[in-house]
Chains A and B, each alone.
Chain A
Amino acid sequence: MASIELEDVCLHFRVRQKRRVTLKEYLLHRLYRRSVNPAMEIRALHHINLSLSDGDRVGIIGHNGAGKSTLLRLLAGIYPPTSGRRIVHGQISSLFDLTLGFEMESTGWENINYRAFLQGEGPKSIAAKRRDIAEFCELGEFLNMPVRFYSAGMLVRLAFAIATAFQPEILLIDEVLGVGDLSFQHKARARLKNWIDQARLMVVVSHDTDSLAELCSTGVWMDHGSIRQVGPIRSVIAAYTRFVSEDARAA
């Protein structure tokens, strides 16, 4: 059973104009009770209630800065909520960036281990997948070389093979992964589709409403850090596009 439960979750960031407080600033502030670098609070998410369970395929849409990616990162555990509760049953794959976490000095094999460790896998499950990864990326002898000698294409192939080798119960995908526009070979597309199909629960953030309609069953419309609408994906997309076009006409 995989499920995600968000109970009245708020996420606030405290941002300073000059980005961070220096020791001098800190002391001055303490001494004179007056800050030249006031903290601004950004309410990235407010009062989000969301309950997702097994089999859900959720697409998140919304304008730029609506909090889509922030919500995804909160689900992944990167940002703990400022208030409210986040309860997750199941193992999450929270790799949003395909090329993240390659150690340039290490070989392809070592990087397979590293990436898998980052996702919380253990040596046994990695051992079972190593062959599969090596076969899929077709790197052959190159896997024994440090990845800094790899071409960009080879890196992407390896990254993709690793990312899709392990089957998380909960899949969180930001559009960086480019579900809709992976200009991969047929093989990669089939693997990706299979990977997504196997996940018990999936949350995707994308601007590409067409691929969302294809992949998802439930839609979540984010607007200025709040959920505006939850429902069947097609009706949410329809409402959202109507809103956007009306907005454009009004402007």
Chain B
Amino acid sequence: MTISTTPTSSAPPTRSDGAKSSPTPPRLHDEEPWLTVIEPRSSWGFVDVRELWRYRELLGFLIWRDVKVRYKQTVLGAAWAILQPLATMLVFTLFLGDAVRDKAPGAVPYPLFVFCGMLLWTSFANAITGASNSVVASQQMVTKVYFPRVLIPLGAIGTVIVDLAVGSVMLFLLMLGYALAGYPVSVGWTVLLSPFLVLALGMAATGLGTLLSALTVSYRDFRHVVPFVVQLWLFATPSIFVQETVMFGPRGQMALRLNPVHGLIVNFRAALLNQTMDLPALGTALLISAILLAVGCVYFRRVERDFADII
């Protein structure tokens, strides 16, 4: 299916029926006329960026609405965003802290090590879990109004930005605290790379999230699959483990490489805490994230035409 909404180059609309004296103000948003061609061919398209741009405000609203719904009538509000990684950090420090003392690369304090990983991991996990249910939950809108459907999972993924922002502040405070307490926490120029690593993770989440949201429409099985897989997936990320080379054999490490979240979290932590980055892992992770993004968008595009029908 190709849906293109392109402004035509014809002159701005003038009414031919003599209704010029009508009280309608001129269209302010978009002076150019809209042309929409919808045809069934070529359902292998990518994303119609121009159409998405036209609906950018809707995306903003969807994100903001989800944030609001997420924290409405909660006593702690956005504090929940940091409680998840914080609680994980406390539990793992309590049970593993002694065993892995001083084994983290660069002698980084283990709680900081875990929080750093868990911040990214919980964001990623929340993004794909939220996105996978999003289209099904918006059934009403999908069957009644036309707008770019991909905005729905994108909105769900965008919600995570708030969590990330709050969590980053917490992470900064944690680093500051450890540095002041005399722990070997240093920051180098690589810290400038960390936002890009978060962006790359967002790319992977977008790809996987849109893919899962489309799959959930046709196969509700994914409602059961996703939370379960996300739970297991945590153990394939370096959020908790300190010495992968010891814990995983060569085959396990190969498998780890295929997990884009692994490479991104390892490098995020290295970039943030001024350690050597694992460039081969980063390359693989970026490549796989890009593939995920492409696959997700193309699949979504291919099946979105049937959403109104099968949802």
Contacts and interface: CB of A to CB of B under 8 A. Distances in A.
A111 to B, nearest CB: 10
A128 B146 contact: no
Nearest to B5: A120
Interface in A68-83: 73, 76-83
A21 B58 CA distance: 32
A17 B207 CA distance: 32
A82 B55 contact: no
Contact of B29 (A14, A88, A125, A200): A125
A193 B271 CA distance: 63
Interface stretch (A91-99, A181-189, A221-229): A91-99
A78 B28 contact: no
A106 interface: yes
B40 A100 contact: no
B305 A117 contact: no
Nearest to A93: B145
A115 to B, nearest CB: 10
B37 A85 contact: yes
Interface string B1-13: 1010000101001
A177 to B, nearest CB: 12
B308 to A, nearest CB: 5
Interface in B111-145: 140-141, 143-145
Interface residues of B, number: 48
Interface residues of A, number: 55
A178 interface: no
Contact of A128 (B3, B17, B28): B28
Contact of A78 (B69, B143, B221): B143
B146 A78 contact: yes
Interface in A117-140: 117-125, 128
A167 B144 contact: no
Interface of A: 1-2, 13-14, 20-23, 26, 54-55, 73, 76-92, 94-97, 100-101, 103, 105-106, 110, 113-114, 117-125, 128, 167, 169, 198, 200
Ordered nearest first, which 10 A-B pairs have the shortest CB separation? A122-B29, A77-B146, A117-B58, A125-B29, A23-B221, A125-B28, A88-B36, A80-B305, A124-B28, A86-B38
